[in-house]
Structure 1
Amino acid sequence: MLLIDDATKKQFKKFCEKNKPKDMETAIKYFTIFGGLDIKIDTTIPLKELIEKEILNKYSYLKNELTLFTGGYNVDQAILSGIALGDRRTTTSFKRAFVSFEEGMKCVEKLSERGVIEVEASQHFITNQRGDNKVAKKLLFTTPFLRFWYAFISPIYKGIKEGKYEEFYKNYENREAEFTDFVFEELCLELLTDLYKDDKLKNSGKYWDENNNIDLIARTTSGKLIAASCKYSNSKVKKSELTNLKNTCKEIGFEPDIFVLFTKTGFSNELKSLKGDTLKLYTEKSFKLLLED
């Protein structure tokens, strides 16, 4: 049912091979919901209609399958929803679930062993910083579908079970953009890895501390440092996005050799004029690279 043993790139490739979306925009949009769920869907059907057909109307079946997979314990379910609805930090996820840090970490260990989630640490060492042990780790679902389920389905299961979907649609419409951003970041990391095959990424991931956040940072085999911003937006990305990224890097004392911007729609002419060896720009069309062997 779930492709938990596959990395995000492989899940995305299998999704596209099985469902044949017409373009990368459709692929990313539908993968955000159905990624990792090993079923065939019709991507020509509007997304909300497809969610109702394949998920909401099949709630009982999917719930039983997920209970077998996750264990179905109430505390575990609360933590999973806490992860999906918050900033993914262990501390805030446990707070949302009303459990102590010790109890929460015991649940995380069990859920990690089952392949439901993974533990992610800030890549402080790429920036030559210490103190990452003081920064809360984050928790990552192994498939987009699991994150969708625990963000939008599990918290309001009673209404969905009774066939009342109004609350789901309201919640989904309010958080759709934010929800898509995260999966887009994961795909961007996979694409960044493929883009640097000639100078492979030695280390890569996300950076965060109490005050700053960088979507992606990396160090290549040759020692080049990369900082990237990922924005899944209908508006063209402007130079201000690059400025903000540079300011954040300066704030934490990180000096990248290359800045990379990923976006859905495109870039302003001013930003495109700056493109070169130290600035790389990629739109969703570039994600076709993930489908190659």
Structure 2
Amino acid sequence: MTNTKLLEQFRSFYFKNYPDDMETQISYFAVFGGLDWEVDTTKPIAELLQVLVLDNFEAIDAQMRELTLNNTLNRKLLKALATGDRRIFSAFNKAGLNNVNGGIALNFLQEKGFIQLEYSREEHPRNKYPNTKLKREDARHRISHKVLFTYPFIRFWFYFIVPHIKEIEAKEYDAFFKDFEMRHNSYTSLVYEELSEVLLNYHLRDSHILSSGSYWDAKIEIDILTLTQNGNIYVGECKWTNHIINKKELHKIYDKCQKLGIEPTQIVLFSKRGFSKELTQLSGVKLALYSSDDFTALVKKRSADYTQCLISLL
């Protein structure tokens, strides 16, 4: 289903700042999305981080602490969710929480609107093979739901700022900027994946979508798996990297589909920098290719007001 709140934030960011292109829009939105700030997207992100975030660190940090009630468990869980694989149980372990205090923190973050659950569509081996004696590892397997951050900036804060908070408090920024430069692309990948699903569902808006989102189980992860009422299956993979995508990626997806036991109606690839000539020649009914420019479709219409979807800081 279309993530309406993310789409509205994406549009709000665009119409407030008017970036030159969609690659810039996505890259800057992944950091500053969800904020009612004017962002000069002609300037490097590192420069903006210094002026908008680090120079105002104390004020923003105070408001972030207020939003989380300055509760250690809430902050630990947000950091674990931001920097980990988004699975709830692994985040509890990473944050040193158990199912009780972790559950309390998770419920608080949901109620405050900072996160939303992405429910697993994996079928437990016990239900899939009810009359079969399972291996111990299969019998003990726990299906874990994942979490998505409602506002990109909150995820950015707990992904990049909080791990370096002691240094930043001391106004020592080198480690933070080095970390940001090294991991900015991988960080942006999740927001790109979420926006890619929004774009796919936009193009499927005349279909009745039964289920949409990422898919994961113990062995397979797929960025986007969308099912429609007429039985169509759309399998998508998203690559926010600085090189074009080639045919090898297509083979990897077909391999995943085979292991999962599904026959895709269409493979959908999303790429920051486009596709190889060989892959482009294969595009058609069975293969759809989307590059950064195609995200312009999401900002064609301007709504009167998106401020209800933004958080106020500063």
Normalising to structure 1: TM-score of the pair? 0.93
Give the aligned CA root-mean-square deviation in angstroms: 1.7
1:96 aligns with 2:113: no
Q: 1:201 aligns with which of 186, 189, 209?
A: 209
CA contact (8 A) 1:124 1:130 kept: no
Partner SS for 2:183? helix
Give the whole-Å Cα distance in 1 for the aligned partners of 2:289 and 2:208: 19
Q: 1:265 aligns with which of 253, 273, 278?
A: 273
CA contact (8 A) 1:122 1:205 kept: no
CA contact (8 A) 1:21 1:43 kept: yes
Give the whole-Å Cα distance in 1 for the aligned partners of 2:219 and 2:183: 23
List runs of 5+ in structure 2 lacking aligned partners. 130-140, 302-314
Give the whole-Å Cα distance in 1 for the aligned partners of 2:128 and 2:7: 31
1:286 aligns with 2:294: yes
Partner SS for 2:223? strand
Partner SS for 1:149? helix
Give the whole-Å Cα distance in 1 for the aligned partners of 2:143 and 2:182: 29
Q: 1:120 aligns with which of 101, 110, 118?
A: 118
Q: Deviations over 1:154-213 (max 9, x none)?
A: 122121122111111122122212101111001101101111122242310010011110
Give the whole-Å Cα distance in 2 for the aligned partners of 1:261 and 1:116: 29
The structure number with the bigger radius of gyration is 2
Match of 1:23 in 2: 21
CA contact (8 A) 2:122 2:143 kept: no
CA contact (8 A) 1:123 1:204 kept: no
Match of 1:106 in 2: 104
Give the whole-Å Cα distance in 1 for the aligned partners of 2:158 and 2:65: 12
CA contact (8 A) 1:224 1:256 kept: yes
Paired residue type of 2:13: F
User: 1:274, CA displacement in angstroms?
Assistant: 1.0
User: 1:29, CA displacement in angstroms?
Assistant: 0.8
Q: 2:218 aligns with which of 190, 210, 213?
A: 210
Give the whole-Å Cα distance in 2 for the aligned partners of 1:262 and 1:234: 13
Match of 2:48 in 1: 50
1:146 aligns with 2:154: yes
1:167 aligns with 2:175: yes
Give the whole-Å Cα distance in 1 for the aligned partners of 2:100 and 2:180: 32
Paired residue type of 1:236: I
Match of 1:155 in 2: 163
Match of 1:188 in 2: 196
Give the whole-Å Cα distance in 1 for the aligned partners of 2:68 and 2:198: 26
Give the whole-Å Cα distance in 1 for the aligned partners of 2:159 and 2:128: 33
Partner SS for 1:179? helix
- Count of aligned pairs between the two proteins: 285
Partner SS for 1:58? helix
Larger RCO of the pair (alpha carbons < 8 Å, separation 6+): 2
Give the whole-Å Cα distance in 2 for the aligned partners of 1:123 and 1:185: 18
Match of 1:245 in 2: 253
Match of 1:221 in 2: 229
Q: 1:84 aligns with which of 82, 85, 88?
A: 82
Runs (4+) of structure 1 exceeding 4 A deviation are none
Partner SS for 2:282? coil
Give the whole-Å Cα distance in 2 for the aligned partners of 1:284 and 1:122: 28
Match of 2:9 in 1: 11
Paired residue type of 2:96: F
Q: Residues 201, 292 of structure 1: CA spacing in aligned structure 2 closer, same or farther, 3 A cutoff?
A: farther
